[in-house]
Amino acid sequence: MASYYRRKKADTVFLNAKPINSGNAQAYLQGVRKYSIGLAERLDNDYIPPANDKKRGSISTVGSNNPDFTPSVFYRSIAPVNWFLRIIGVLPIVRRGPSRAKFALNSAPFVYSVVFFVFLACYVGYVANNRIHIVRSLSGPFEEAVIAYLFLVNILPIIIIPILWLEAKKIALLFNDWDDFEVLYYQISGHSLPLNLRQKAIYIAILLPILSVLSVVIIHITMSDFNLNQVVPYCILDNLTAMLGGWWFLICEAISTTAYLLAERFQKALKHIGPAAMVADYRVLWLRLSKLTRDMGNALCYTFVFMSLYLFFIITLSIYGLMSQLSEGFGIKDIGLTITALWNIGLLFYICDEAHYASVNVRTNFQKKLLMVELNWMNSDAQTEINMFLRATEMNPSNINCGGFFDVNRTLFKGLITTMVTYLVVLLQFQISIPTDKGDGAGNSNVTVADMLMDSLGNDMTLLGTPSSTLAPTPTTTPVGRSGRGRKG
């Protein structure tokens, strides 16, 4: 059979090498590699796969007993979250089959997204106008104003919807590249890509909206007067940020799972057959996966840059409002602040942690597999391919980078938390330095941090026998008696 033995490929490796793309399952078998033993034997016997059987076989061996190809595994895995995002006016992408996703301005999903956004923007504008009136009427302490500002900051995620319109073309291209990658994975490994993320996606699409709505309701009950008309847009926007985090989690999980499976199959393949052509094919497959990892960050660049800044801002304000009121005891408002802080910290952590885990699986774990390969029994061509593979993992970055702004990993989470602590210290110092009014029998007195420091320093110098008059010029007016630690006005 002519197609049984793989044809020699060009020396250069093309990252965008297109696999065979056809709706006929038998056409996919024509592209199978020499070392896919199970498929090759059935091709010799003129095997025709059943039309209705879509089950996938085991992946425990290099050879496969199941020649069926399941297309669009990645898209089907994240489909529940995609549909939820489309319901709330996000991701207006039309997809009519594998590798046929596109963004069109005259499509029905985009028209629906625009109409939904217009109504939501009007609703949010009405709620924001009421919140601005509340902020203007505040006359209490500074921390009360911060809590009022939280409700204004919570409507900022509405900006994400037009940002996603700008990035819809890149997201559609990412979906198409995943379809091509699955075909190439099948041609090289002999199996469809076994992601098995559909159940996780269903749980995320059901549980996250419920938890999000509950948190919004509790926050409004504990921190402001519960008004159903004003709670609805907050529920929609909070669901938007939560589902984007779940969507990011699923994509990163798909990359991590694919990288792990690819590394395991490569190691098992080397134990059975070790031709140089096989190593070259797996190198092309890894380069395509590395490109998908980078393209993910570029496709969602502005969306998650805005998400990171928004989460940083909302976490800082909520923690400051919580800490500024703890001196008076834990009150009912602190429940809403605690839920806001923990919810957004958890969202930011999972965004950074999953991206970090995906990058490590794509690059570091593959390098470990390559370094553990025994080269003594291989010929010179196979050894050269292994060295080129290892060199490719070193030269091709696999980090999820948001358009050159920053890498999304655990270091980003640590940096944001560190910066957050710095701002919290500054805000708390600012609150302490604000003069406070304390009444006594003789009148009111104002005390500041500077007064407290001067009082403490004067007392220390007095105990040491140094007259306190050396610290400051003697006042020309008659000193007024002190009450507590403040000075009478």
Mean pLDDT, all residues of the chain: 75
Q: Tell me what pLDDT residue 5 has.
A: 41
How many domains does the chain fold into?
Answer: 2
What pLDDT is attached to residue 292? 92
Sequence-ordered strand ranges (E) for 301-433 = none
* 199: number of Cβ within 10 Å: 10
| The pLDDT value given to residue 458 | 55
In a domain, 226, yes or no: yes
pLDDT at 16: 43
Of the pLDDT bands very low, low, confident and very high (cuts 50, 70, 90), residue 172 is very high
Q: Which domain holds residue 470?
A: 436-488
Q: 336 pLDDT exceeds 90?
A: no
**How does residue 256 score in pLDDT terms, banded at 50, 70 and 90?**
very high
Q: Select the highest-mean-pLDDT range: 31-45, 187-201, 247-261, 428-442.
A: 247-261
Same domain, 427 and 440: no
- 164 and 237 in a single domain? The answer is yes
Tens of pLDDT, residue by residue over 386-417, are: 778 888 888 877 888 888 888 898 999 999 99
Q: How confident is the model at residue 434, as a pLDDT?
A: 62
Residue 70: inside a domain, yes or no? no
How many helices (DSSP H) and strands (DSSP E) are in the chain?
17, 5
Residues 360 and 466 in one domain: no
Model pLDDT, residue 384: 79
Asked if residue 62 belongs to a domain, the reply is no
Tell me what the mean pLDDT of segment 185-200 comes to: 86
Q: Which of these, 349, 345, 389, lies nearest to 369 by C-alpha position?
A: 389
pLDDT (mean) for 150-168: 91
Stretch 226-235: mean pLDDT = 83
- Answering whether pTM is above 0.85, one says no
Quick one: which of 273, 373, 264, 270 has its CA closest to 40?
A: 273
* pLDDT tens digits along 362-395: 888 888 877 777 666 666 777 777 778 888 888 8
User: Which residues in 396-408 are b (16+ Cβ under 10 Å) and which e?
Assistant: bebbbbbeeebbb
**370 and 326 inside one domain:** yes
Tens digit of pLDDT for each residue in 72-97?
A: 899 999 999 999 999 998 889 999 88
What single-letter DSSP state applies at residue 11? S
**Does residue 135 sit within a domain?**
yes
Q: Do the Cβ atoms of 252 and 292 come closer than 8 Å?
A: no
The values of phi and psi at residue 148, to 5°, are -65, -35
Predicted pLDDT at 386: 79
In angstroms, the CA 102 to CA 179 distance is 13
- Predicted local confidence at residue 454, as pLDDT: 52
Q: Are residues 447 and 314 in the same domain?
A: no
Residues 320 and 442 in one domain: no
Task: Give the model's pLDDT for residue 129.
Answer: 87
User: Is beta strand 436-440 parallel, antiparallel or unpaired with respect to 101-102?
Assistant: unpaired
Q: pLDDT confidence of 482, banded at 50, 70, 90? A: very low
How far is 186 from 20, CA to CA, in rounded Å? Answer: 10
Kindly state whether residues 112 and 237 are assigned to the same domain. Answer: yes
**Rounded Cα gap, residues 136 and 154, in angstroms:** 18
Please check whether residue 15 lies inside any domain of the structure. Answer: no
Domain boundary at 431, 460, 480, which?
431
Q: Which residue has the higher pLDDT, 15 or 83?
A: 83
Q: How confident is the model at residue 1 (pLDDT cuts 50, 70, 90)?
A: very low
Strand partners for 437: 446
Last residue of a domain, one of 431, 454, 475: 431
User: What mean pLDDT comes out for the span 258-283?
Assistant: 77
Tally of CB atoms within 10 A around 220: 19
466 and 367 in a single domain? The answer is: no
Percent of the chain scoring above 70 in pLDDT: 69
355 near 247, Cβ under 8 Å? no
480 phi and psi, to 5 degrees?
Answer: -100, 135
**Residue 102, SS3 per DSSP:** strand
User: Within a domain: residue 470?
Assistant: yes
Of 282, 218, 299, the closest CA to residue 35 belongs to 282
Assess whether pLDDT exceeds 50 at residue 223. Answer: yes
Strands (E), 61-202: 94-95, 101-102
Least confident of 118-122, 371-375, 476-480: 476-480
Q: Does 28 fall in a domain?
A: no
Structure confidence at residue 330 (pLDDT): 73
- The predicted structure's pLDDT at residue 146: 74
Task: Evaluate if residue 21 carries a pLDDT over 50.
Answer: no
Tell me the one-letter amino acid at 343. W
Tokens coding 449: 């941090």
Look at residue 372 in the predicted model and tell me its pLDDT: 75
Do 370 and 236 reside in the same domain of the chain?
A: yes
205 found inside a domain: yes
Instruction: Please tell me the predicted confidence (pLDDT) of residue 226.
Output: 67
The one-letter code for the residue type at 114 is: V
55 vs 128, higher pLDDT: 128
Same-domain pairing of 300 and 414: yes
Q: Are 35 and 274 in contact (CB under 8 A)?
A: no
Does 443 score more than 50 pLDDT?
no
Domain boundary at 382, 398, 431, which? 431
Average pLDDT over residues 111-135: 90
- Torsion angle in degrees (nearest 10) through CA of 354, 203, 74, 400: -20
Residue linked to tokens 């060009």: 10
Does residue 488 carry a pLDDT above 90?
no
Residues found in the chain: 489
Same domain, 278 and 146: yes
Same domain, 141 and 285: yes
